[in-house]
Amino acid sequence: MLEVTAFGEGWTLEHEGGRLPAVVPGCVHTDLLAAGVIPDPFLGRNETGTAWVGRREWTYTAELGAASGHERTDLVFEGLDTAAEITLDGQLLGRTRNMHRSYRFDVTGLRGRLAVRFASAYTEAAAVRDRLGERPAAYAEPYQYIRKMACSFGWDWGPTLVTAGIWRPVRLEHWSTARLGRVRPVVTVDQALGVVELHVDVERTRSEADLHVEVRVGGRVARATVEGTSGTVRLEVPDVRLWWPRGYGGQPLYDVELTLLHGDEVLDSWRRRIGFRTVQLDRRPDRHGTGFTLVVNGERLFARGVNWIPDDVFPSRVTGDRYRRRLGRAADAGVDLVRVWGGGVYESEDFYDACDELGLLVWQDFPFACAAYPEEQPLRGEVEAEARENVVRLMPHPSLVLWNGNNENLWGFRDWGWEERLAGESWGEGYYLGLLPRVVAELDPTRPYTAGSPWSGSWERHPNDPAHGTHHSWEVWNRADYAEYRSEVPRFVAEFGWQAPPAYATLRRALPGEELAADSPGMLHHQKADDGNGKLRRGLEHHFAFPEGDFDRWHYLTQVNQARAVAAGIEYWRAHWPVCAGTVVWQLNDCWPVTSWAAIDGDGREKPLWHELRRLYADRLLTLQVREQGLVLAAVNQGARAWRGDLTLRRMTVDGVLVEDAGVALEAGARAVTVVGVPAELRPDGPKEFLVADGGGLRALYFPAPDREIRYPEPEFEVTVAPGAVTVTARTLVRDLLLQADRLDPAARADRGLVTLLPGERVTIGVTGWKTPGVAAARAALYCVEPSR
């Protein structure tokens, strides 16, 4: 039987002629940080002072032990970041140049000093650039010349911390006769009959040995002979339970065990969990353009999505528990799809396991983002090798429903001046429209592939045409008021978002001793977007008087604006189902403390946006919006049962006077949207009035003017405190009340975000982690919209 020995202990990192303890898996930065050689690059402006780390060579060493008694011993690296030379007592074992692959070296009978020497990623990228020529990119760093996590080189939300190291586990595998080299599972289902077809490649030490494989799934067993180095075993499982995305059904998972045998001797085994489900991507043309609708088990879905970036700029620090916490918060917010963005990595098994269990659909980008990528060697062979390995590695996961060729590169070629600058040089099109779809079709025919995001499906149309395929909506954040989200109905919004700073306690930890201001040195350093603060200001000024010199108001209002902006888009687009078939918010998470588009900040604290997503992505949503026919009420029902009930519409003044009210009978079918016009007598007249719709425990609000034009009363409310709860009773209209629980205690969390109270209404906010409750402290942590001054 194959024996596995973990090889994570006993490593050292050479540093200035000496040696430091090294943690494997890990990276140079984390080892230097643990040894006190560098300060925490996430604090203050320390990032700048650690830039030298990414420009040096680094060597890891360990002692390789004695032989095992097996015929063969392999040294297996699950991930090396990135350009490395591996030697054993000075003898070259091999060289690597791809972070996204694993590597295996035959070390049978060898022992001694193992060294893994990493070249600077800058040096490797420069060598490739000198050989293949310049290629344009959205950022100045050379990430397109090396198969490495692109955002290591910085992004408009991330620091420039160019890593090196043994970033995934290392092991020794000892085996005799044969071992399993690759198992490719093709899982299909027809009605209630599940079919598991395992394509097996083996590596042998003895070609004459008779081998067979045995597979067990759901109490069923099948066997097949392995001829030469490959074989296929097929097994049918009747009456399987289907795996569904969350909100549509359960997530039953089946254990699969494949055993490689020589006679009765077990040589090796492979174990995974699978789920039975079907997935299609409906891209048929219709009168609105070209659709982009995911269909799982025959059910057409409106995808309630978020974009995922690496959860730490040092990805070896992201544990299985951390994945589950973060993805659990996505599920808690009503999310049913997570897009793994192309500037990051193929995540670890823990990520996809969690998505399988939580019912989160995974849209997986291949790692290409915002740049022209050369298609010549040495990159082309690396791209194909990494694609083949990771497609097969991730195939068992039922949560994985879509492969995507790249992020924004097809769009960049057309709109960002690349075509002229490239002058005919390769830039990645051959990957996205040639190599990658061939690999997916060959290895994973059960899943759809799309060439890029955004992508209209044809060069005959603009790549980012909102009427065709996927669309990225960034003109609004960059240049307009978020009300412009309501000016069009894309078929599928794969990226859009609005910035806000992280939670107050996160800023206090990240910027120790700094007097916080929107433009203080640390705040500016932790704002990586081009003119980010300018865009935040212009976005605020469409709605509020800018709070000059008042950081606390600026912090609160920018978070309000983020939540409102995302709500403006999702409400409008969900209400246009099935023309629009999904929204994927940029972004769920952060990789460090930073002002960004994230709903959960770099310290894991939820912004008001996260709480707003819980409302926006719930099965049932009420929204008031202006259409061509005037003001309408839309009831969005993504549940499996019809929604019937009575709604109350109230036209009110901001001073709390009821002008007119009416009841409305509502019926929205399952997975459907109902839109009804608001009667003329209920439509608010100018900035002194607003409309409230209530029903089924849900509320929608419509204010016809921006806040800066509304003469709000001075907010008045009472506060009471009990263990684990803060209760607020409104005496006036209190708009967008927010308890910033982390101002009470850095460990405190509130169970809700922004809430608008009418006069006489009361809300109780649950609070955990607050050790010394008090009314004064609670009142100081409460914020709401105030009259313009």
Catalytic annotation, residues: 408
Q: Quickly tell me which residue has 């823990």 as its tokens.
A: 350
Helix (H, G, I), strand (E, B) or coil at 444: coil
User: What are the CA-CA distances from residue 617 to residues 53, 136, 182, 612 (Å)?
Assistant: 42, 38, 39, 9
Helix (H, G, I), strand (E, B) or coil at 49: helix
Long-range contacts of 657-665 (CB under 8 A, 24+ apart): 659/689, 664/633, 664/695
Distance CA 124, CA 206 (A): 39
Distance CA 172, CA 9 (A): 12
Q: Quickly tell me which residue has 């709605």 as its tokens.
A: 543
Distance CA 235, CA 432 (A): 34
Distance CA 786, CA 713 (A): 8
Exposure on the CB side of residue 387, measured as CA atoms within 13 A = 29
Exposure on the CB side of residue 215, measured as CA atoms within 13 A = 28
Residue 45 pairs in a beta bridge with none
- Residues contacting residue 635 through CB under 8 Å, at least 6 positions apart: 620, 621, 622, 643, 666, 668, 673, 674, 675
**Which two tokens mark 58?**
């680094």
Report CA Rg, the chain.
Answer: 28
Longest dimension (CA), the chain: 90
Measure the N-to-C terminal CA separation of the chain; round to a whole number of Å: 77
- Strand runs labelled E in 592-733: 620-627, 630-637, 643-653, 658-668, 672-677, 689-695, 698-702, 717-722, 725-730
| Size (the chain), residues | 789
